[in-house]
Amino acid sequence: MKLVIAPDSFKESLDAESVARAIAKGIESTLADVDIYCVPVADGGEGTTEALIAATSGQQHTAEVTGPLGQPLNAIWGVLGHQEGVPLTAVVETAAASGLDKILPEQRDALTASTYGTGELILKALDQGARRIIMGLGGSATNDGGTGLLRALGAKFLDAAGQELAEGGAALAHLGCVDLTGFDPRLAETEFLVACDVDNPLLGERGASAIFGPQKGATPEQVQQLDDALARLADVSADLLGKDLRDRAGAGAAGGLGYALVQFLDARLAPGIDLVLEAVDFHKTLKGADLVITGEGRMDGQSLSGKTPVGVARWAKQHDLPVIALCGSIGEGAEGVHEVGIDALFSVVPGVCSLEEALANGAENLERTGAQIGRLLSLKTIQL
**Per-residue pLDDT tens digits for 128-180:** 999 999 999 988 999 999 999 999 999 999 999 999 999 999 999 999 999 99
Residue 168's domain spans which residues? 48-272
Taking the C-alpha atoms of residue 99 and residue 115, their distance in angstroms, rounded to an integer, is 9
pLDDT at 312 (0 to 100): 96
Q: Quick check: is 281 in a domain?
A: no
If you average pLDDT over residues 278-287, what whole number do you get?
A: 94
Q: In what order do the strands lie in the sheet with 291-299?
A: 35-38, 2-5, 291-299, 323-330, 344-347
Mean pLDDT (whole number) for 272-278: 92
Is 384's pLDDT higher than 70?
Answer: no
The answer on 216 and 158 residing in a single domain is yes
Q: Is residue 383 part of a domain?
A: no
Distance, CA of 57 to CA of 68 (rounded, Å): 30
Of 32, 35, 38, nearest to 375 by C-alpha is: 32
Q: Domain tally for the chain?
A: 2
Question: How far apart are alpha carbons 218 and 168 in whole angstroms?
Answer: 13
383 pLDDT tier (thresholds 50, 70, 90):
low
- Mean pLDDT over 237-259 rounds to 97
Same domain as 226, residue 200: yes
Do 35 and 1 form a contact (C-beta atoms < 8 A)? yes
What lies within 8 Å, CB to CB, of 298 at 6+ separation is 327, 328, 329, 330, 331
* Residue 31 belongs to domain with CATH number: 3.40.50.10350
**CA 146: distance to chain centroid?**
17
| Domain edge (last residue) among 219, 241, 272 | 272
Domain identity same for 9 and 82: no
Report whether pLDDT(269) > 60: yes
Output the pLDDT for position 307.
Answer: 85
Q: What pLDDT, on the 0 to 100 scale, is given for residue 306? A: 73
* pLDDT tens profile 84-122: 888 999 999 999 999 999 999 999 999 999 999 999 999
* pLDDT above 60: residue 381: no
Return the pLDDT at 170: 98
* Pair (90, 210) in one structural domain: yes
Least confident of 49-53, 223-227, 376-380: 376-380
Q: What is the Cα–Cα distance from 68 to 192, expressed in whole angstroms?
A: 22
* Residue 185, SS3 per DSSP: helix
Q: What is the mean pLDDT of the chain?
A: 94
- Whether 280 is covered by a domain: the verdict is no
Task: Decide if 208 contacts 230 (C-beta within 8 A).
Answer: yes
Residues 248 and 318 in one domain: no
76 and 150 part of one domain = yes
Position 138 scores a pLDDT of 86
**Looking at the structure, do residues 169 and 152 belong to the same domain, yes or no?**
yes
Mean pLDDT of 216-236: 98
277 in Cβ contact with 312 (< 8 Å)? yes
Q: Measured between alpha carbons, how far is 122 from 276 in angstroms, rounded to an integer?
A: 18
Q: pLDDT confidence of 304, banded at 50, 70, 90?
A: confident
Is 282 inside any structural domain?
A: no
CA 103 to centroid of chain Cα atoms:
20
Q: What single string gives the DSSP state of each residue in 100-166? A: GGGS-GGG--TTT---HHHHHHHHHHHHTT--EEEEE-TTB---STTHHHHHHTT-EEE-TTSPBPP
Any domain includes 284:
no
Please tell me whether residues 187 and 238 are part of one structural domain. Answer: yes
Q: What was the pLDDT predicted at 380?
A: 62
pLDDT > 90? residue 126: yes
For residue 109, being part of any structural domain is answered with yes
Distance between CA atoms of residues 59 and 233, nearest Å: 36
Are residue 190 and residue 65 in the same domain, yes or no?
yes
Instruction: Say whether both 334 and 264 belong to one domain.
Output: no
